[in-house]
Amino acid sequence: MIPGPFEYYRPGSVDEALALLARHGEDGRVIAGGHSLVPMMKLRLAAPEHLIDLRNLAELRGIREAEGSLEIGAMTTQHEIIESELLQALCPILREAAVLIADPQVRYCGTLGGNVANGDPGNDMPAVMQCLGAGYLVRNASRQREIPARGFYEGAYFTALGEDEILTAVRIPCPPEGQGQAYEKLKRKVGDYATAAAAVVLSLDGGTCSQAAVALTNVGQTPIFAEAAARALVGTSLDEAAVAEAVRLAKEAADPVEDLRGPAEFKRHVAGVMVQRAVARAHARAGA
Ligand SMILES: Cc1cc2nc3c(=O)[nH]c(=O)nc-3n(C[C@H](O)[C@H](O)[C@H](O)COP(=O)(O)OP(=O)(O)OC[C@H]3O[C@@H](n4cnc5c(N)ncnc54)[C@H](O)[C@@H]3O)c2cc1C
């Protein structure tokens, strides 16, 4: 329950943080809100020898709209996402998912960057980012690149982020006007991770679904972008048969394992129910 020994650094710029990361290689690790990393260090599941705290880096904070995109700094807290009127107006699924994360104490400290970079399949934001077609802006000492959220997750706690890279911001294309969005999550109690959750975004054109995306949380080693499920919705009026087919395909894409939240088949069933509810709510909101 006590972390191993480590050196602690609080750099004053991203460049300084990147230089520290480059110097310490696989022994270095950045810390943001600490609400995933510190519990892992206490359990000795993580034992970084050099801990690089990003909290003083103002360049990693803030929520902006520019050139058809929303850009959210990696150190923006979940609480700040909930409070943002800009995000509520342009991309309400972010608030909807953020209020379902843990409890207020965690959300005051936990950051968007930590949530998406962590690679924990139980984290809620990755599936939302996949649905929204988000990109992760990352930097090392010599270059910057953008990694699509849909290609970022490789396995539980394995991502496309290099060990010398820092996630600086998340970029989300501004959702088209009238897009319906919903995040549905079943959890056992406040403060728990999802038994299963689903993010859905969709657009209508004269009553026909013209665009859809579906992604699942905590029913596999990574967030699951359920492409086939979304395809089953496009071109339909979102009638009962189309939604039932999307639910079937989403359940097929899920790959849960048994744990304290229940047996695999139960979780797969819950994932289907979450998709059904999220499609219904996104449908009701589309065009509003
Ligand atoms: C009781 C409890 C319940 C929780 N329930 C939920 C829940 O229901 N849903 C949910 O989504 N989350 C949940 N969380 C996790 C919480 O949301 C975390 O705060 C979040 O996942 C990680 O964000 P952080 O800022 O705390 O990151 P940290 O813990 O500081 O870091 C997490 C990992 O990401 C890396 N990292 C952080 N920032 C960056 C960056 N900018 N660039 C590169 N790597 C980075 C770190 O090196 C570390 O490996 C819960 C946490 C607790 C303690």
- CB atoms near residue 235 (< 10 Å): 11
Residue 118: give its domain's CATH number.
3.30.465.10
Q: Which amino acid appears at position 226 of this protein?
A: A
Per-residue pLDDT of 147-158, as tens digits, reads 999 999 999 999
How many Å apart are CA 45 and CA 28, to the nearest integer?
15
110 touches ligand 1 (CB under 6 Å): yes
Q: Which of 53, 70, 90 is the last residue of a domain?
A: 53
Residues 65 and 168 reside in one and the same domain: yes
Per-residue pLDDT of 172-220, as tens digits, reads 999 999 999 999 999 999 889 999 999 999 999 999 999 999 999 999 9
pLDDT given at position 1: 76
The residue range of the domain holding 111 is 61-173
Q: Which of 153, 173, 193 is the last residue of a domain?
A: 173
Residues 164 and 67 reside in one and the same domain: yes
113 touches ligand 1 (CB under 6 Å): yes
Residues 118 and 191 reside in one and the same domain: no
246 domain residue, yes or no:
yes
pLDDT given at position 191: 87
How far does the centroid of ligand 1 lie from the alpha carbon of residue 31, in Å?
Answer: 9
Nearest CA to ligand 1 atom 28: 34
pLDDT given at position 68: 95
pLDDT given at position 279: 98
- Mutation test of ligand 1: which of 106, 109, 139, 192 has the most ligand atoms closer than 8 Å to its C-beta? 106
Per-residue pLDDT of 77-89, as tens digits, reads 999 999 999 999 9
Residue 190: give its domain's CATH number.
3.30.390.50
Residues 42 and 71 reside in one and the same domain: no
DSSP 45: S
106 touches ligand 1 (CB under 6 Å): yes
Nearest CA to ligand 1 atom 6: 102
135 domain residue, yes or no:
yes
Residues 158 and 107 reside in one and the same domain: yes
Residues 46 and 67 reside in one and the same domain: no
Q: Which amino acid appears at position 53 of this protein?
A: D
- CB atoms near residue 178 (< 10 Å): 12
Give the angle 175-220-225 at the CA atoms, nearest 5°. Answer: 25
Q: Which of 142, 173, 204 is the last residue of a domain?
A: 173
Token couple for 265:
């088949």
How many Å apart are CA 266 and CA 281, to the nearest integer?
23
How many Å apart are CA 29 and CA 51, to the nearest integer?
5
2 domain residue, yes or no:
no
80 domain residue, yes or no:
yes
Domains: count for the chain: 3
